[in-house]
Structure formats: structure tokens, C-alpha cells
A and B are shown apart, each in its own frame.
Chain A
Amino acid sequence: MSTTPATVNRLGLSRGEYSGGKSTLCTGCGHDSISNHIVSAFFQSGIDPYDVAKMSGIGCSSKTPGYWLSRASGLNSIHGRMAPCATGAKAANRNLIMIGVSGDGDTASIGLSGFAHLVRRNLPIAYIVANNGVYGLTKGQFSATADFGAKQKSGRLNPFSTIDLCSMAIDLGCTFVARSFSGDAKQLVPLLMAALKHNGTAFIDVVSPCITFANHEGSRKSFAEVKEHNVILQELGFVHGFEEKTVDYAEGATETVDMEDGSKLTLRKLDSRAHDVRDGTAAISLLRAAREAGEILTGLFYVDAGHARETLTETLNLTEKPLAFLTDDEARPPREVLRRILDDYR
């Protein structure tokens, strides 16, 4: 059910036209795989790079918007402030397709508040956290998503509990919550495509091992440990609304999530646990149980594809034309309005 590889997409663009600058991350960094999957997702979705705004904060992960979609404008902002920057940008130009890439330090520590409030407002954005549990650029300190008891490269153990961004996002009303692994294209690419089509905040926590500072035994986020403990909830597929093909349901319990634009996300249960992706309370319990069992549970946890919550664009009751392009006549009331306003002050 995955999209057949084609040399050009529906816009006539090749995959290469979704590429960006050369990565300066460590060879083997999980983040580079995420960049690669982002390119695949945009290419396969046939999204015009001109329509995209790439947002990030500061950190290894936040550098990556330089490595993909060089035809899209981006704002590599300041540490922890990707969320409010994205909020302002989307309000200014509602037509922008927003994608944000942040890290676990950027989102779960310095930017936790911005993340929480972006979710509360249901800003339409695909919000990706490249999560490796450490601060790479400052050489390996724990971040807030490091597991309790995780071992630093120096041997120190993390004495503090971890922040599970997925549980938190669900609790705050996030309308699309998933976790994936940077090395799992099969899972991550459909999730990214769905996130880009989702009308609301789509949050994907991508476990992305730090090859330099957290790839040792005991880090809990090394490639080996992630592979060993990764429990995949569903096999995912994505069918775009523009694709003239019917969903090829595989054997087993397959369900479909209808996206607002007519696309479909398909989920085939892989795990013995029954989970309804429309049940947020169950999703939080599921995540907690998995964490306690030492599992790295990946897949789609929660989705409100029925648009139960309004997006920030709707809450703001924005005019159709992007605010950025309003003319003087559209953004300046006529003369008599000033006279009327001043009547109150005479």
C-alpha cells in the first residue's frame, strides 16, 4: 500500500528537488535519517516546497532544516522558541505549510512551555522532535527526555524522571500524536505524510540516537537498545487523496484514518494490545505501561481526524488572504472610523 517510487511526483518534481544543503552532523547521526525521511514525505506528498515554512530552534536537530527543502524558506530561530515563532508565522500567513523540527532539549527543557502552549492552541504544524536524550552540541549532558537511570557516556546515571512528550501532548489536547524511530522509514514516512496533511498540531516524537554521545550501552537511546526495545504498535500506510487507488487492505485488523483532505492513513495492528487511536485516555495509559515495561513503543497513539478541536487559524477567525499580504485598504479602516473612535474622547 505504500506509494510506488516514481522519478517525479505529481508536480513533476524529482526527489532531488526536495533536497537541501550538506549535513554537518556526525556521520551516522539519526537526525540525518530523519531529514531523509522528511524529503521522502514531501516528495511523495507532492507538496510544493514554495508553500512550506521550515521552523526550528537551536541544537543539532534544529540545524537540519538546512539539509532539506532548500526551496522553502526557514527560520532557524533561538533556543526553545521554535513553537512561538511558528505560531506567529502561521498567523501571518495561513497558507504556509508548517513543519518544525526541534530537539529534546529545545522542546522538553528550554522550550517546554512553548511546546505546551502550541499544542493547547492546536496550531496547524507538523512538529517533529528528534529525540536522543542528550545535548549533543555541548557534549553529552542529559536532556529532560533521558530515561530515569539512563547512563551518560561518562558513566553518570540520570537521577530524574523522564518527560514523555507524547503523553504530555495527548493530555494537552494534541490532535495527532505519534512516536517513531529515525531508522524506521516504513513507519516514519507515512506518519510524516499524515502529519503534513493533518489540520492541527501533529506531533511526532522521533527517537533518534546520538551516535557520538548516547550510542553506548545503558544510554537507553542507542541504536542497539532502540532496536531491542522498540515495540511497533501498527504497520502504517498512507494513501494520498490524489492517488487513484483503493486501499489495499492487508490481512489482519486494518483500520483507516480518514484525513480531512481525503487522504487515508492505514493502520494494521502488529502488537497484541488492542488500541483505539481515537481514545486519548487509553493512549496515555498505553504509553505509561510501555514505559514501565522498558519498551520503546512506536506508532500512532492518538488522532482527532474528525476535527473535534478548532485550529488556531480558526480560533483567530482569520481573513482568507494571508495577513502578510493585506493591502493598505484592507488593513487600514476608512477615515470615518477614526472620527467615530475619537468621539469617545471628545
Chain B
Amino acid sequence: METTTAARPSTVAVQAASQTVNDCVIEIATVNGSGSQSANNILLKAIFRMGVPVGGKNLFPSNIAGLPTWFTIRVNKDGYTARREDVDIVVAMNPQTALDDMKKVKPGGVFLYNAEIKIDASALRDDTRNIGVNFRELVDQATDAIKLKKLLVNMVYVGILGELLRVEWDALVSTIRDQFRDKAKVLESNFKALEIGRQYAIDRLQGHFPFAVSEMSENRGKILIEGNAAAAIGMIFGGCTFMSWYPITPSSSLAETFIALAEKHRKDPRGKNTFAIVQAEDELAAITMVAGASWAGARAMTCTSGPGVSLMGEAAGLFYYAEIPGVIWDVQRVGPSTGMPTRTAQGDILGAYTLSHGDTKHVLLLPGTVEECFEFGMTAFDVAERLQTLVLVLSDLDLGMNVWIGDEFKYPEKPFDRGKVLDAAALAKLPKYSRYEDVDGDGIGWRTLPGTRDDKAAFLTRGSGHNKHAQYTESSPQYREVVDRLVKKWNTARGVVPAPIIDRTPGAEAGIIAFGSTNMPMREARDILRGNGVDTNYLRLRALPFNEDVEGFIAAHDRIYVVEQNRDGQMLDILRAEFPAHAVKMRSVRHYDGLPITAPHIAGPIFAMEGVSK
């Protein structure tokens, strides 16, 4: 099975026998639809089970099959698992991209390629270790079934990599066993392919390998999960009773996970559903189904991405003005327009904040970890029902679809907050009731649900001009009374939404403000900054509107760097508008090419603005 190319690792000028342990980036280049994802996840999870910090990213095309796709695994003992741009080990399985993939390898790295891809020996680099493997011959040993070969070839490279990187065999075996636990036959053939790969590496690829993984104990009490799955689990335990959706990348996996989990775990004792899920005809319908469901008392949400949010604009105004609770979970992707559906961005901030015409503004929740995706999957409903308004949760593709380590999710101890709802018994005790009257002074009225058996309960909810009694009005003072009260409610919201999280470094002069998935490389970025003499304090926004902590943080610093993943600095705009006195000292760090932001993307511009040459 050995090919000439495969026999030439010695032609490679790899430097001395140094070996980097628990710090490498592996990129596997395949073709969309080749079934490599589950194999890649097995490698990822096996490393996770060794207690080593690791993260995984799938860079995929907007395509069903045939276009290039890359899966990146970053192993890092310090827990830096966000994206790193350069690659240590490339596994090139896709002839279309192999030559470009080869160029990505850092000097001293490894280029492992399918020898069926005819790469001229002169084209191979001399500063990398090049390993050509005839995968066809190997997979032929694993199975005779043509259909399976395409899938099992992926397990062969996992076997090879596992051996070269010294991934614990037990970790690989247990991961595969768990992955295919209900499929004995699949399990068997995968084991066989894995073993063939491993044996090949033992027999043919011995000698120095520059990277290795080694057991650590960093992952006790941790899980490895995508933000979308975390959100779906949150919705299960947050008592989401209604979900409507229109399929759109990158949010579909949230809906699909919720469906699968709800079907299993949200049944009454008679096997009936304690939830309703409707796949809508479009986003206009998805959001207005949420309006109807919430109006009738369900904890209702829809998940979508930017184009869907745009379509939901008109309805967003109805939620705001008629004061109907509701949740939109926006897994942001690159815009404008259709943009790049499979790339990540934080470009919906401003649009979501003021979604809809007229004087409209919305509460935004900004999860920055998978734990928060879980938490907000529950509490978004509490916030929406407490404030009787639309809540938009802004996740993004990098947080939602990529794999992150998080603390094991904690079972919620707090009951649902259903907000201010008057039932018939409560109404019976009241001499009078008006839907939009601010009886408590917090700008939030009491609502009744349809079906309430009291004469005072019913009213016609409307998005047209209404007074505090929920009656139609075109009277200027009555209109003003309601919309001014909504501002009061907005100020109440500041204390209801999750507060920002502040991390201080003693003596730091510069402040960083970021949110969402930009949080992922932040620790690494701040460590780089600190290592070069720039200490920073960090405020991570978790919601809009801002509370007083945000202004306090800005006021306490001479220089504030607002880091975000969009072209125009949308959050910076909102901060400057909210805190004009501090507008000048807030500076922008932006990244917006569709790929996740990295630590150098953050540290570099800050060094430059701090006048630190590095």
C-alpha cells in the first residue's frame, strides 16, 4: 500500500526532535457531503476526553455536496480554543484545494495528504513534513461496500492522526462507541477503519512527529457543545411551549435540536406534547405565530438569522407597541442581503436593536458562551414575559454552530417568571382594570390572557393607536401617554436584563468592551496584550439596554476599545449615542471578513492605538 510519495517523509527538513505538546491546530480539508464531520468530531471529543482544552470549527460552504469544506481543531493547554489563523497539521483529502491547503501549514508543520491527489514532488514544501497516504488502499481493507468507503476513509485518517498525535486509544474507542451506540454494524466498521489507520501509522510513519497531545485534567465537569444545541436544551428547561421557525442557516440546527429533544423529553404522562412546533411558511408567519401564541399565553419563540430578522421587522413593532412578550433567537451570519450564509458576523446589532418602523427599540440578549446560550434559552422567556416585550437573542454562527467547551449546565432552580398576568380570581378583586395602565410605577401594566372568565378581562389588542385602556385612539395626549410610559418600561428593563460581566486587572488603564462570540478569543488576546505591557479591564456586555455598570466602566477609563465583528462598529454607535459625553474616548476594533475573530485581530489594533510597537 505504500506509495512512493508516502515513502518520502525523509525528504522533509523538519527541525530537530522538539515536540509541541497540547498546542496545535489541525485542519482537515474535505468535500462537503463526504461525511467527514462525524469522524472529525470523534477526534475532537477524544482529545476532550483526555482532559485537554480543545475547540472545533466547521468552515463549510453554502452547498449540499461537492464544494470544499474545512474542519479545524485547536488544541491548547491554556484553554485558548478560539480560532487561530495558522495551521500546524493539514489533512488534505480534497484535490480541489490541496495545493492551497499545503500553503497554510506553518513551517515545521505537517502536510498529510491523500496520495491519490497527484502532487508533484517538486511542488511539496521542504519546510514541512509531507506524508502521502494511499487512502483508497487502506479503506479497501476496511470494507467492500462502495457506499461505506466514502465514510470510512474519514475514520482511517482519524486512526492515523490519533496514532501520530498519541491520542489515547481508549478515548478514541469510547468516543466511537458512544457516537454509534445504537448501531452495532456501523460501530464495527468504524473500529476496523480506525484500527487500519492506526496500524498504518505504526508500521509506516514512525519517527519524529512534531506535535502530540497528552492527558490533562482541565475538562472535569465540562461539556463540549455548540451554542445552538445549548440554546435548544435551555428552551426545553425554560418551558418554551411554542416554537415556529422557517429553516435558515445557521439557525436550523437550533430548531432541529429543540424538536428532537422536545419529542423525547416534553411529553405528558399520556404521551401528548407539552409544546407545539410549527414550521412556518416564511418568517412573516413564524414571528406572527409567536405573536398569537404569546398573546394567548404560551412561552413562544422563533429562531432565525439576519434575512429572517429583516422580514420580522413589521411584527417586531406589534410586539413592542401592543406589549406582547416574544423571543427571536437570531444566529447571525454575514450580510448584507443573502451575504455569506455559512460565515459568521455580529452585524445585526443595530438592526435588531431598532427593528421595525416608528419609535421602536428592543431588548437584546447577547450570549457570549455556550453556558449563556443555555441560560438565555430559559431566561429570555422570563425577560420577555416580565417586560411584556420582544426579546432578541443575538448569537452567531461561530458561537451557535461551532463546538466549545463549557461548564456542565446547571439545572434551573428558579421558577418561570410569567410576569404580570391577572387571572379571573385576581380580576374579581379589582374594581377596574386597564391593560396599559402603569399601576406599579415601573412602566409595566398587567395583562390578561384570552379565555379569562371575568367581564373586565377582555380587550382588543392592537398595533394601531391605543390609549391606556387599550381603546383605539387618535388623540395626541393619549398616544403620548402610552409611548412615554414605554420609555419608563425601557428604563425598568435596564435592571431586568443580565448585567455585564467585568474582569479587572489591577492598574489597568485601558478598557475593552465586547460581547457575544468576540468573547471567545478575549482571554488569549488580553494575555497577549498583558505580555507586552498593556493591561486591560474587560466589560462583556450581555444585554441591551445598558445598565449603570456600563457607564461606570466607560467613565473609569481613559481609553475604551469596543471590539465587534461588523464593518461599521454598530455597538460603538449605540454606546456613543447612549453616552455622548464619553464618545471621543471610545475606539473601534472591528473584524468582518466572515471568519471568526482571533486574538491577534483584537490585540494588534489595540497595540497600535496604545502606541505599543510589537
Contact = CB atoms under 8 A, between A and B. Distances in A.
Question: Do A and B interact?
Answer: yes
Interface in B406-446: 408-409, 411-412, 415-416
Contacts of B261: 341
B126 to A, nearest CB: 42
A330 to B, nearest CB: 6
A345 B224 contact: yes
Given A81-B284, A338-B411, A324 B449 contact: yes
A210 interface: no
A326 B273 CA distance: 11
B315 A316 contact: no
A92 B449 CA distance: 11
Interface in B451-476: 451-453, 455, 457-464, 472
Contacts of A66: 460, 472
A89 B237 CA distance: 22
Contacts of A338: 233, 237, 409, 411
Interface in B296-344: 296-300, 314-315, 318
Interface in A54-88: 54-55, 65-66, 70-78, 80-81, 83-88
A84 B241 contact: no
B242 A88 contact: yes
Contacts, number: 226
A77 B315 CA distance: 9
Nearest to A93: B296
A83 B288 CA distance: 9
B242 A73 contact: no
A77 B293 contact: no
B296 A96 contact: yes
Contacts of A316: 273, 276-278
Interface in A72-114: 72-78, 80-81, 83-93, 95-96, 113-114
A190 B237 CA distance: 46
B266 A113 contact: no
Contact of A88 (B224, B236, B275, B294): B294
B297 A333 contact: no
B448 interface: yes
A318 interface: yes
A312 to B, nearest CB: 8
A322 B315 CA distance: 24
Interface in A296-346: 312, 316-320, 322-326, 328, 330-333, 335, 337-338, 341-342, 344-346
B203 interface: no
A92 B241 contact: yes
B225 A345 contact: yes
Given A77-B463, A341-B265, A88 B450 contact: no
A54 B238 CA distance: 29
B603 interface: no
Given A92-B300, A345-B225, A318 B461 contact: no
B458 A324 contact: no
A50 interface: yes
Contact of B460 (A76, A87, A320, A323): A76
Nearest to B275: A323
A117 interface: yes
A74 B294 contact: no
A326 B239 contact: yes
Nearest to A83: B285
In the A-B complex, the 8 residue pairs with the smallest Cβ-Cβ separation, listed nearest first, are A324-B297, A88-B292, A88-B293, A73-B450, A92-B298, A85-B292, A92-B296, A331-B239
8 contacts: A73-B452, A73-B459, A78-B314, A113-B281, A328-B416, A331-B275, A332-B237, A346-B223
